[in-house]
Amino acid sequence: MLYEIEVLTRDESGSLLNQARNFFQWFSDQGCRVKIHLREAAENRVVLRLELHRGLRKKSELYSFDQLTLIFHRQFAEFIAEHILEEWEPYLVKKFVSQKVVGFSDAAKEAILQKSLHFLHYGEDHTLLPEYVRYEKSCRLCARIEESVETLENTPFDLEGFLRFRMKDFIREIENAIKFSWRCWQNDQEYENFILMLRDFMNEQVCSVEVLHVIFYPNGGFCLWDENGQQLYDKAFKQKQHPGMKEEDLLLSLLLAVAPEKIVWHTGKDSTRTRVLRILKDVFQDRLHTCTDCCLCRSVESLRQHYGPKNMK
């Protein structure tokens, strides 16, 4: 026998045995005999046993049996690393969410669970490639697995113990992902409640304008026009009436007070006011329409080009 090892792990998907057979098929093609066994253990665990034997004849012209043994050792680490990411990471996220997120509904826990997994796959700012994130974690796991297996004696390689004691940074990343996702979920709930409150307030208002046009000046400020071309408000000339009030908050309060049947947001090519636009879309829903290429949009764009990017907000 060239190599043997046992692994104590989980197999909730029931596919571990087939995955191992497919993964280590290459060694059979090189003239080795690979024996793979799976047996049940206590507490919903299984023991995976891998054995690498010399074949009746050596087929590989590139590798000696000693080299194949070293390759098997490395491939074993890669296989277990992938198994941890596929089986153990989602299991631990679900387990920790159940333990730490107490007093919330099952739907809330599921939402936090999915946000946590997304965070672990894409990073905090959601811009990392999942392949890169997975590769980085897989490399860390491989290195620690190889170190642990080298000092392993005649006992199964316990993956839960390995993760708890040798991969504390891996566990900490999962816990941080859950904390971050929990805060995000709470912020989402607060935002939804805020939007619902604004909708209720808007629905209680009496509509005083049928169509309201919103135009932002490129160097700050905005103005409101009704469907008859009458200017209702021009913040550029009335800033002093609302000291300390943010431009976006002022616009929202004015729109809620007027409660128009239709709002036309003239953006031109401006894509810098995504936050206020998102809030308006959530509050006014199908009442809000965006326009990018009418005479008003083109006049705003002309002003934007005149003022240049330095004075734009």
- Indicate the pTM of the whole model: 0.78
pLDDT per residue rounded down to tens, the chain (313 residues):
778 999 999 999 999 999 999 999 999 888 888 999 999 999 899 999 999 998 766 666 678 888 888 999 999 999 999 999 999 999 999 999 999 999 999 999 999 999 999 999 887 666 667 888 899 999 999 999 999 998 887 789 999 999 999 999 999 999 999 999 999 999 999 999 999 999 999 888 888 889 999 887 766 678 888 888 888 876 544 544 555 677 788 888 889 988 899 999 887 666 667 788 899 999 999 999 988 778 777 776 665 554 444 433 3
Q: Check residue 237 and give its pLDDT.
A: 41
Q: What is the DSSP string of 178-199?
A: HHHHHHHHHHHHHHHHHHHHHH
Q: Domain extents for the chain?
A: 3-196, 211-311
Query: In terms of CATH architecture, what is 211-311?
Result: 2-Layer Sandwich (3.30)
Measure CA of the first residue to CA of the last residue in the chain; give whole Å: 72
Distance of alpha carbon 119 from alpha carbon 177, whole angstroms: 6
Distance of alpha carbon 74 from alpha carbon 65, whole angstroms: 14
Instruction: Using DSSP bridges, classify how beta strands 222-226 and 231-234 pair: parallel, antiparallel or unpaired.
Output: antiparallel
Q: What is the DSSP string of 264-277?
A: EEE-TT----HHHH
Distance of alpha carbon 104 from alpha carbon 11, whole angstroms: 29
Residue 310 structure tokens: 């330095």
